[in-house]
Chain A
Amino acid sequence: MNLEEQIQRYLDGGLDEEQVAKLSDVLRDSSEARKTYWELTGTHVLLDRIYRETSGAEWAESASVKKVNFRWLPTIAAAVIAVVVTWWIVEWRSDPASVIVATTNNGSEFLERGSLTLKEGETKEITFLKGTRVALQGPLAIELISDERMRLITGKIGVEVPEGAEGFTVETPDGEVIDYGTRFGLEVDNAGDLRAEVFQGRIDVVIGEKIHRMEGQASLEVSGNSQSLTPGSDSSSFPMPSLKEAWQIGGSFNRVETFKGGRPKLPNKWSGDLLEIATSFEEVRPRSEGGMLHFKGTSAQEDVRDTVASQLWRIVDLYEVREKMGRRPERVNLSGWVNRVAGDDQTDRDFLFGLSCHQEITEALDEGGDVTTKVLTSLISDSDPETWERADLQLHLPPNLRYLVIMVGAREDVSNNEDGQEFDGHFLDDLNLVFAAGMRRSIDYHYWRGSAGEWETSGKWSENREPSAHSYTVIQGPGTATVSGAHSLDSGSLVIALDNDSQGSVELKSGSLLNLDTTETLVGYNRGAHAELLIEGSLVTNGRIYIGRNNKTSRVEVTGSLLSSDLIQLCQYDSDEDTSAELVVDGGKVTAQSLRLIFDQSKLTLKEGEIDVQELVLGGESGQAHLVQYGGMMRVEKMTLGNGTYELLGGELWIKTASDRFPDFLPNALRSIRGEWTLITAAQ
């Protein structure tokens, strides 16, 4: 029994004299152990309180609750309100033993011993009470046996066993897999065959008398009597539990350094007001070894605010974080510890922690800039220089976010001091930024094949089912998939013409709606593929649309409406292949956050209708992207011009731009402008 178990059992009266004496000694001698004791008794006391205080019926709804006794404490002087003690008798109905062994990852469900099944497309992530995390992806059947043992009957799982939970065992039809602290994936197919892949650490796969020790990266396939062990493994073919990446930035501030320079302009660098690393200051000592950050001054103008802060910033490039984690970071937590000198009433004690999301780094990083989301918290430090106080700040990160900016600061009420700004001794230590990514599903494909047909004809799809919750939904085959009516697709990606030399086409009939809840839609993918998307109805997506990759031809024609709350890009890569990517708007409307034509192969034609985008990027550093407008309206909030051509033969171009420099660029960038046209800018 570990300490925690001993305490729990003591509270329930389950320890014998010898065990109590042992626990008593430990608690007497260790303040750490006493701390644990109070942590554990908290829930115990809370349970006692609520079962005594309230009707109980609201959460014990299935137990039949009867109030049987209502007793007043005797001998209380008349002037005193009585303490009411109520008893509740709950009739016990004998149920099969139920023992909680795990919770779902978001803590919304407690899972007991017993079986669990998931249907195709369903996913679940569970955390065993000993800390092992398991990603489950349907179709699947498992049985939870204890907090360190489960059985995989059929399906795919990804397992991560943390330190301290080694020995976690998965039973399989023919044997068992014992973990020694690692990440691994297991699959049992319908025939009962086993595939085990280890990505990190070591597992033992026991099949009958035979033990396969798998270390580092290795794969094992067991089919009937044949067992083959090969080096190498591929984690993408298994679901994997969500990731938490601790990223200590600034960390314990050990290096001697002075920070200044104001708000940062580049990622991965601390910059800010006047701050220094200190090893000690009056009675304040660093929280962890080495140094601590000392706030010393501010660059804020006194006349701007009554209260100024000494601040430190850092820009984090989330593309790098994504690269490092191998997944999109979904949440972030910033924590840090603060302290201050003892001081008096005049000594300020306020600290600030902030996180903000930016798509671009503008010079000022001001609130009014391109901040999409921002959270700020303030923390009041106590006056005891020996104790450090902790601040915590969490933020959900929007998809496709580029930059996160961290801010920490100490606030000073200048008006309390006639000399102006005073930073009496404000300190920060152990600053941590932790990113978390959600569970990753294994990659799976769902295909549309063959001749022309309607989207909702289930026979047109693999496994005779309309697609849902797949990594890739792929449409290819000589025939067109026609969408009439309203359909939604929840998939990682939608790909039209994926394979080499394949072809695929989708047509949205007038009045139809296709709602794509996908990360990206790719019109054309591999070499030689021909892809076409005709939109007479409406296509709406919250993800990106790439028209062309390194395939042969990609063509999107819009006479209805195309709406992406993210990016539409012609050509995903600068391909060496002889490729073409074209977007033709002939009536209707295209709306997107951003529209990019960066490479040679990209061509956009606006005949009639409207294109309304926040940002238009025309031409990259070397490409010769081509945009021709015969009529209609191009409405752009901001235009970035590279080596592209804008041929404006008719219609209107409306550019709202705050940049004074823009008109200087205009003649070169729009060098092919001829015919009748109107240029409207916000300045006019």
Chain B
Amino acid sequence: MTDEIAHTTYVQGLFVKEASRIRGFIVSMMPGGAEIDDLLQETFLTISAKAESFEKGTNFTAWAMTIARFKVMEHFRKGKRRELLLGDETLERLLDEAPEHLSENPQVDALKRCLKKLSPAVRQMLAQRYAEGWKPERIASEAGWGANSVYVSLSRARTALRECIQRQTKGGTA
């Protein structure tokens, strides 16, 4: 194995280790969600192609996130939907101030417990939104609702879940 291939393999290894986190940042900056897997893949390909420009010992996540941000911006530009994404400067500032961990294991466990408290109908809606990446308009038309009530329901479900997670994780340390 040449050094170059070894380095690329090393960088790809870092990506795989951090994939969940990088995905989290992609999810957190763009609207919708259907294209996330594609974007993660494209980010991976770009990182593989540019592996030689990554210096060992420097901050990999920051580097990967910058690439991911450009991928997201490029994706929206190509689809002529650039105006539906937050501005460049805004995204940059947001990512600069991003929390180190977006999803930690205790929160994941708490979320699973909290989800059980939701009604089946709301859980189904979340599954369509997150597992299938359906747009709220599609969820609405399949269910025979107005799109607005899907937006409201999604937002309230997340608010209720967020408060539930806070209580659960706080209660654990009491």
Contact = CB atoms under 8 A, between A and B. Distances in A.
Interface in A379-416: 392-394
A81 B20 CA distance: 14
B9 A77 contact: yes
Contacts of A48: 23-24, 27, 33, 36, 130
Interface string B77-114: 00000011111011001100111001100011001100
Contact of B9 (A14, A61, A79, A88): A79
Interface in A1-35: 4-5, 8-17, 20-21, 23-25, 27-28, 31, 34-35
Given A14-B151, A83-B19, A46 B97 contact: no
Contacts of B149: 97, 99
The DSSP consensus for interface residues of chain B is: helix
Contact of A63 (B48, B97, B108, B120): B120
Interface stretch (A37-45, A132-140, A443-451, A630-638): A37-45
Interface string A43-77: 11111111110101011111101000000011111
Contacts of A21: 83, 87
Contact of B144 (A39, A49, A94): A94
Interface stretch (B54-62, B63-71, B131-139): B131-139
Interface string B131-174: 11001100100111101010111111111111111010010011
Interface string B29-41: 0011100110011
A59 B116 contact: yes
B156 A62 contact: no
Interface residues of B, number: 85
A21 B152 CA distance: 21
Contact of A98 (B90, B121, B142): B121
A51 to B, nearest CB: 4
A579 to B, nearest CB: 46
A52 B131 contact: yes
A85 interface: yes
B119 A77 contact: no
A377 B173 CA distance: 10
A80 B12 contact: yes
Contacts of A63: 120, 123-124, 127
A92 interface: yes
A442 to B, nearest CB: 27
B12 A77 contact: yes
B143 A92 contact: yes
Nearest to A147: B156
B89 A28 contact: yes
Contacts of B127: 51, 56, 60, 63, 65, 88, 90
A103 interface: yes
A109 interface: yes
A364 interface: no
A303 interface: no
B73 interface: no
B37 A85 contact: yes
B124 A13 contact: no
B124 A31 contact: no
A145 interface: no
B152 A99 contact: yes
B126 A47 contact: yes
B89 A94 contact: no
Given A46-B107, A51-B126, A63-B120, A17 B83 contact: yes
> Among A31, A34, A75, A98, which residue has the most Cβ atoms of chain B within 10 A?
A98
A577 to B, nearest CB: 48
A58 B108 CA distance: 13
A89 interface: yes
Interface string A84-126: 0101111011111111110100011110100000000000000
Nearest to B81: A17
A496 B142 CA distance: 63
Contact of B97 (A4, A8, A12, A31): A31
Contacts of A76: 12, 16, 44
B130 A107 contact: no
Given A21-B83, A95-B124, A99-B149, 18 more contacts: A42-B107, A48-B27, A49-B24, A50-B115, A51-B131, A52-B131, A59-B112, A60-B124, A79-B13, A80-B9, A80-B16, A83-B19, A89-B131, A94-B142, A99-B152, A103-B160, A129-B156, A392-B173
* Pairs A-B, 7 closest by C-beta atoms: A13-B32, A8-B155, A62-B120, A51-B130, A17-B83, A13-B31, A95-B121
Interface of B: 5, 8-9, 12-13, 16, 19-20, 23-24, 27-28, 31-33, 36-37, 40-41, 44-45, 48, 83-87, 89-90, 93-94, 97-99, 102-103, 107-108, 111-112, 115-124, 126-132, 135-136, 139, 142-145, 147, 149, 151-165, 167, 170, 173-174
Interface of A: 4-5, 8-17, 20-21, 23-25, 27-28, 31, 34-35, 37-52, 54, 56, 58-63, 65, 73-77, 79-83, 85, 87-90, 92-101, 103, 107-110, 112, 129, 147, 377, 392-394
13 contacts: A8-B151, A13-B32, A38-B99, A56-B131, A62-B124, A80-B12, A83-B19, A87-B131, A92-B143, A98-B121, A107-B164, A108-B117, A393-B174
